[in-house]
Amino acid sequence: MEHNIKDRLSLLVQQHKELRAISKKIDNTKETASPIKIRELLFTLLNLAKDHMKQEEEILVPLLEGMYHPNEQEIAGFILKEHQQLQSELASLLASVQTPEWDNDTVESLISHQLEHMFKEEYFLFPLIQHFYSGLRSKAQ
Ligand SMILES: [Fe+2]
Ligand SMILES: [Fe+2]
């Protein structure tokens, strides 16, 4: 069980690396790349992010439920809310390419919002889950 959880969490961390790489690419080229290229990168990011968040919710929500943590529902609700926000920010950014709404500050704020979200997951949420389930295993031994 615990090994399985560790593998699932590291899969999510691996996906974060891909998301960071493409976000960095967008951030570095936002002023020089053609609108077609920017649109392509944002589209890739949006799809990767959607896919990742869906898998993440499928993995994390049952684990959180199994913990009976006093704040379990709040934590799950918080993650789901941030996922919805990030996806809608990304979708509106994608729709704003080559319109007057497009601006570099929005790109930067979206990217930092996303980095912050992944940071919270990797440094607080995943260790909390991992710690809980490894504690269960040592009690069972
Ligand atoms: Fe997430
Ligand atoms: Fe994530």
49-69 average pLDDT score = 93
Which spans in 30-125 are helix H? 35-67, 72-95, 104-120
Whether the per-residue pLDDT at 2 is higher than 80: the answer is no
Sketch out the chain's domains with CATH numbers.
2-140 (1.20.120)
Q: 5 alpha carbon to ligand 1 midpoint, in Å? A: 16
pLDDT at 60: 94
Question: Could you report the per-residue pLDDT of 64-115, keeping only the tens digit for each?
Answer: 988 877 788 888 999 999 999 999 999 999 999 999 999 899 999 999 999 9
Question: Residue type for 10, please?
Answer: S
CB-based contacts of 112, cutoff 8 Å, min separation 6: none
Q: 108 alpha carbon to ligand 2 midpoint, in Å? A: 18
pLDDT at 71: 80
CA pseudo-torsion sign 97, 102, 103, 107: negative
Q: Determine the 3-state secondary structure of 99 from DSSP.
A: coil
Q: 88 alpha carbon to ligand 1 midpoint, in Å? A: 14
Q: 12 alpha carbon to ligand 1 midpoint, in Å? A: 9
Q: 130 alpha carbon to ligand 1 midpoint, in Å? A: 16
The answer to whether 122 and 13 are in contact (CB under 8 A) is yes
The answer to whether 75 and 64 are in contact (CB under 8 A) is yes
- How far is Cα 93 from Cα 109, in angstroms, rounded to an integer? 11
Q: For residue 119, what pLDDT band results from cuts at 50, 70 and 90?
A: very high
Q: 32 alpha carbon to ligand 2 midpoint, in Å? A: 28
Q: 140 alpha carbon to ligand 1 midpoint, in Å? A: 30
Q: 31 alpha carbon to ligand 2 midpoint, in Å? A: 27
Ligand closest to the CA atom of residue 83: 1
Question: Residue type for 31, please?
Answer: E
Q: Residue 122's Cα: distance from chain center in Å?
A: 10
Q: For residue 57, what pLDDT band results from cuts at 50, 70 and 90?
A: very high
